[in-house]
A and B are shown apart, each in its own frame.
Chain A
Amino acid sequence: MADDEQDDQKEYRWETGYEKTWEAIKEDDDGLLDGAIAELIQKAKRKRQAEKTKQNRLGMMRHMFIVLDCSEAMSVPDLKPTRLLCTLKLLEIFIEEFFDQNPISQLGIIALKAKRAEKITELTGTSRVHLKALAGMANVSLTSEPSLQNGLDLALKTLKVVPSHASREIVIIMGSLTTCDPVDINLTIDELKKERIRCSVISLSAEIHICRYLTQQTMGTFGAVLDDSHYRDQLLSQVDPPPAAKTQDNSLIRMGFPHSKNEVEGKDEPLSMCMCHIENLEEPSGLSTTGHHCPQCNSKYCELPVECQCCGLTLVSAPHLARSYHHLFPVPNFEELPFESVPPAAPDCGSLRKCYACIKVLNGLTDKSVFKCGYCNQFFCIDCDIFIHETLHACVGCNTIPGVAGLVYQKQSGKTPSGDTQQQQQPKTMLPSTSKQRVEYNM
């Protein structure tokens, strides 16, 4: 329900007509609300799923700064235990999820302390650094006001030098209702707009005009949180890559694919030290034979993805790239149908109606609606529908029934003679798993 405010930017909730919100919630036979609440949650989940439209062009390489308010307002205990501790906990989840979904992206954290901005972590691609820094922030003293402008300026200074093909973003978490700035903040906003840096704000207190204005100018999103679960949703919605800005420069980026194969079979590699730990005094580099060698300058790293410290080449492995592909080839939404439309199984199997993926026996009481894939015509229960779309990113039916994928594929290649060369060139690394995904992609 809270999402409604996003739909209409002009009208606030208190300006809209009278709503009987309680009528949406109905008690079940036992007078309990659990079922009704679960239904509301399911509906919200599906709604969010439906909103995820197909986007072929996304800002996949993201450089994001999280600007975290560390002012007095963050010690307010309206989010338990305090705003800051709640934020830190959620940020931990966010950072894990961010690097899971955006493996070749970079993140940095800026804290707004007593009218000053302080960079907690530089832009890096490893979650460990950030998680460690976050753990150290729990005991930060929360005093005075934040300065939004100083924070934005600091982030801007760093993001300015990031290559233009990357998607540059700032996510601001504001607890305070005020900001104490050195000069007119509109100058900074204009600069951000000019640099096409996307700024999003999550306010922990209330909607603030200048923050809303900032997000509108820079094409970001604005959200004021209701409670911690809403806060979590707001934060995690930043995990999905945003649509690529139309003005974003596209380019081919040179990348290295290190391989740890021995050059001489049967002979162990010599012991060597890795570059990532060489300057780290707390965890000194150990000698080892394994590691990833930069194909350009041969320096060794123990973790991927990483930017080579010697020659600046971005080093990745093929699965890292594959991890992002599901953003580009999403599973099409399933059609919601009443329970009765599922054909019952053969009589020797008890004439039961089953979910195709998890063989859950469906019954008309708990599974009021079922979901059908438009390509393979298989029926799924609601849990599998959500699991397939949110986690698995591959339709079980389309990937297990050979005819479905094969036939559509043949049709597709027959239709486009000009695309023949492309079809042959289809890579080993990136074939859309099913033809329907490919159909969409070529369109």
Chain B
Amino acid sequence: MGFLARLAFKNLFRHKLRTFVSIIAIAFSVMVVVFARGYVVGLIDNLTLEHIQYDSGHIKLITHEYRDEQRLLPLNYPVDGLGGGGLDEMITALENVEGVAMVVPRLKFGAMVSTEDELVTMGGWGVDPELETAFTGIEDYLVEGRMPQPGRLEVLMGTALLEKINRRVGEKVTIVFNTAFNSLRGVTFNIVGRTKSGIKLLDEVVFYLPLDQAQRLLEMDGQVTELLLVTPDKKLVLQVLPRVQALLAEYGEDGRYLALSYKETSDLIFFMDIAKLIYNQIYIFLVLLACIVVVNTMLMIVKERTREIGMMSALGLESKDIMRLFLTEGAIMGVTGSLIGAVCGSLINGYFAKNGIDFSAATSGFSSEVIFNSIVYPLSSPGNTIFAFFLGVVIVTIACVIPARRAARLEPTEAMRV
């Protein structure tokens, strides 16, 4: 009945302050849900993306032995081809697997630089600059200079690492490392670029050099330590992984090589997925907290309007109509509060999604092994805003069933006696 809906709307103006407080309580909780969900989803998405880009790809192909010792960056368990074929043929075979969009080779090794005071340990990543740029967008973090070029003794370093070794872009640096044959070697490189990413690993530990130079200097021609397989979407990994494993089995290399999805190479992502589910329950709890205010207000309203409910019942209004009247009042507060909260939360998220939230100070103690960008960019998406809006409306309306039922169950004679 439209008339009851209009009455419900007008009723909200009886005690404007009380209605306002209820709406603000809902708005605040929905705003917090929008922001918290945007923050958590943004954090998990960033974390997953960075893990994929700087550690695992969507599928990581390594040897079994390398997996056990990868923290030590060993060079004696390389990826070097399938069934006696070379690395290039292996990459071509992998690129031909349905769902594989790109194969990114990396040759990782331990290295060090001597400064006047100390020996600085580092990790060298021999990469194909073109593929690396296409896959990770490392150029976005480039604050000075350029990527190293194949065929040249050039390196790209993080800002913090450059500070540690007291060098600048344009200067030279002599890097000492062990070759695959375990002989110590020192090579002087030109520093051609500087990055600043917020990711501790990239900023403080890693330096990039061209893959061909890394292979030559480490005496690992046609070899890399890992191949990262990239799919058009991370959701496709579960479909593509069995095809890659089938390819390895086809060449009889499944005993040597290991193909791992990005989730298998990070415990953190597994826990984050669980956290996502837990947070979804926390959001419901947050809105329920606001519902306490609304339900309390509605119960007060029912008490105040007991005689009026009796009168409406006497006029012939059925219990279900009275219930509908109070539910409509609650729903209007729910919709208004949720709308305000969703819009405010969305604006806040939009601002932080653009500018990020800097946790550098808090994450300074993190190990560089944790690939975590200290600047968190919350997710600002219509889906998140709509989710919070509907969560607010639905929970508030359901919560209003309690006072509405109380109103509907009042016997007219009892109600009129008040």
A and B bind:
no
Q: Which positions in B face A, CB cutoff 8 Å? A: none
Q: Which positions in A face B, CB cutoff 8 Å? A: none
